[in-house]
Amino acid sequence: MVEVCSGKSCSYMQEPEKSQRLALPQEVMMFEHEVNVKMWKKGRLLQRIKKSCPSSPFCESFTCVVCLERLYNPQCISWVAIFLGIVAIGVTYYLLSILIKLLTISCMCCYFAFRWARGMKNWCCKYCRRDKTETVSIQLASSKSRFRYRPANSIATKIMIVMIVTLLTTGEDSCTDIPRGASLLAHFKEEAAAQLQITLDEFSASAMTSNTACEIEVFDFKGCYNCKTGAQMTYRCQSDFATAQADVKCGTNQFLALCTEQGSIGETWLSFGSRLVQETCTVSCPRRQTTFALEGRLNYIADTDASSLTLIDTLDTVRNVNGSIPWDQLFGSLSFLSSFNIFGKLWSSLSNVMNGIVLVVVIWMALYVRTIVTRIRSLYHVVVPKKVL
């Protein structure tokens, strides 16, 4: 058995192939992560491998052409995809115009057919069934031979116990039981917490506070919104003198930061509900409060089960997980166009404009469909006129 874990995501394979690949969740791949691999055989740990992996580009982790992840992350849409989308919309509009003309011709044909048939007799064709009864005499064959049947031999087999289920706990806690020889090993996904308490007699404790001010500078801010992982913020906290602990508030998020004279580097995880983040954070230190601006754009990740890894393929080539069409296989000859990132910065500022254009196109399509429905209703009233009182 092979156990592969990265953060809170784990996967267990009973009989792995010689060449097998696993896909980590996007919430793990967008940050620096560590992969732990353990190989077990008959309850014994054969080998343990630990490897640190750098963060991978977020847009390269998509394996679908049209999906919610790409629609909610416009920075991951290439210019080739935009061009092909415009061509597809044009072809669809052309086909819709042809379909509307065909439907119009069909309605007019019905109209003229009913109009020319006025005053003519109506003939109705009805299928009549005629029943017929015949008498047939059948002579049954008889046999006087005797037959003897001998049943097959029966073999008594012993029932073998294939699986034995043993609960280490009461069954309410989720754990995985792994047999190791005559004993049983339970593996919990939750981390165990240890608490150390020291009691001192005849001593008193007092808090020492330094009258200092703190400032925070943000180095990196990336992650996802409305997801389990959240966004990671890397910062540097510097104080005037001595060491102080700052209370930082960014909207609904609050955390403690360690500040030193030389500047202490720290990381924290924040959660947000929108893609665009523009927050004014306050830093409370003993002397005074300072503020810093936290701005950035977060990515959208579909709500999936991040506690398990996904098996991609047992061959050397990677297969698509979501079942959609791979971009490289569908447009392999056009993949070189994605390397030209000349308008990368321009695209980040045009994302809102593109959203507005999409909204205008949707409204225009709704009005166009309403016009088509009105035209069909008018043709229907012409074909079936109202009765004159």
| pTM for the whole structure | 0.42
pLDDT at 168 over 70: no
Q: What are phi and psi of 143, to 5 degrees?
A: -135, 135
Q: Which of 151-160, 245-254, 290-299 has the weakest average pLDDT?
A: 151-160
Are the C-beta atoms of 214 and 239 separated by less than 8 Å?
yes
Mind listing the pLDDT tens digit for each residue in 333-383? 333 334 334 444 444 445 555 666 777 777 777 777 777 777 776 665 555
Kindly tell me the burial class for residue 24, based on how many C-beta atoms sit within 10 Å of its own C-beta (0-12, 13-18, 19 or more).
buried
- What letters, b where the CB count within 10 A reaches 16 and e where it falls short, cover 326-351? ebeeebeeeeeebeeeeeeeebeeeb
Task: Give me the long-range contacts of 344-350 (CB less than 8 A, separation at least 24).
Answer: 347/74, 347/75, 348/75, 348/297
Distance of CA 100 to the CA centre of its chain: 38
What pLDDT, in 10s, does the model give residues 181-196? 555 555 554 444 455 5
Domain segments of the chain: what residues?
A: 2-73+304-339, 74-109+341-389, 214-297
- pLDDT value, residue 382: 53
366/314: higher pLDDT: 366
Do residues 269 and 282 touch, judged by C-beta distance below 8 A?
no
301 within 8 A of 224, measured Cβ to Cβ:
yes
**CATH tag, 214-297:** 2.60.40.3770
Please spell the DSSP secondary structure of 187-225, one letter per residue: E-SSPP--------TT-----------EEEEEEEEEEBS
